[in-house]
């Protein structure tokens, strides 16, 4: 199972989830908010915790491995419909540089995009994709 853990109160993060859903017709990705017990259990199963991976990052759990920040986003893009897999070429840029850009946006995401009081509730037809 491939799972994307996201900040459930972040509007930008919720938009990313909707973006992935629209471009993943095969339904390869499952989703859970970082604020959920499911996220804590999934992270604990692979030896991590929410404290170690702050909610300012998207987390991808793929084949039992954890990926964060730009690497997670690019690995997700790689599995979406064309042309998004082309974005995976950005992994040629050194991770510290990619993650610096990621952190710049992440630290301003609430100010720029806002946040919700509660986590997003998926539409009934999408509930099976959320853990």
Asked if pLDDT for residue 130 goes beyond 90, the answer is no
**Is 38 contained in some domain?**
yes
- Per-residue model confidence (pLDDT) at position 55: 66
Q: Give φ, ψ of 47 to 5 degrees.
A: 80, 25
Q: What does the pLDDT read at residue 23?
A: 95
Does some domain include residue 130? no
pLDDT of res. 4: 96
Within-domain flag for 129: no
3-class secondary-structure state, position 104: helix
Range of the domain at 33: 2-123
In the predicted model, what is the mean pLDDT of residues 9-38?
91
**Tens of pLDDT, residues 84-129:** 999 999 999 999 999 999 999 998 998 898 887 666 666 777 778 8
Q: Which DSSP category does 116 fall into? A: -
The model's pTM is 0.88
Number of domains the chain contains = 1
C-alpha distance from residue 117 to each of 7, 9, 27, 37, 120 (Å): 12, 6, 28, 18, 9
Largest CA distance in the chain: 40
Q: Is residue 131 part of a domain?
A: no
**Spatial distance between the Cα atoms of 109 and 119, rounded to a whole number of angstroms:** 16
pLDDT at residue 52 in the model: 47
Each residue of 58-83: pLDDT tens digit?
999 999 899 999 999 999 999 999 99
Location of structure tokens 């997700």:
76
128 within domain boundaries: no
Torsion region of 69: left, alpha or beta (phi above 0 gives left; psi -120 to 50 gives alpha): left
The pLDDT value recorded for residue 119 is 66
Burial class (CB within 10 angstroms; exposed 0-12, middle 13-18, buried 19+) of 20? buried
Query: 75 in a domain, yes or no?
Result: yes
Structural domain includes residue 25: yes
């Amino acid at each position: 199972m491939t799972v994307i853990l996201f900040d459930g109160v972040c509007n930008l993060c919720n938009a990313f989830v909707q973006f992935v859903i629209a471009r993943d017709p095969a339904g390869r990705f499952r989703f859970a908010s970082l604020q959920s017990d499911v996220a804590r259990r999934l992270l604990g199963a692979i030896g991590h915790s929410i404290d170690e991976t702050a909610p300012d990052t998207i987390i991808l759990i793929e084949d039992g491995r954890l990926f964060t920040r730009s690497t997670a986003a690019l690995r997700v893009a790689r599995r979406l419909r064309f042309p998004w897999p082309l974005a995976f070429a950005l992994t040629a840029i050194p991770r510290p540089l990619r993650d610096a850009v990621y952190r710049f946006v992440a630290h301003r995401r609430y100010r720029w995009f806002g946040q919700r009081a509660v986590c997003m509730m998926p539409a009934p037809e999408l509930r099976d994709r959320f853990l």
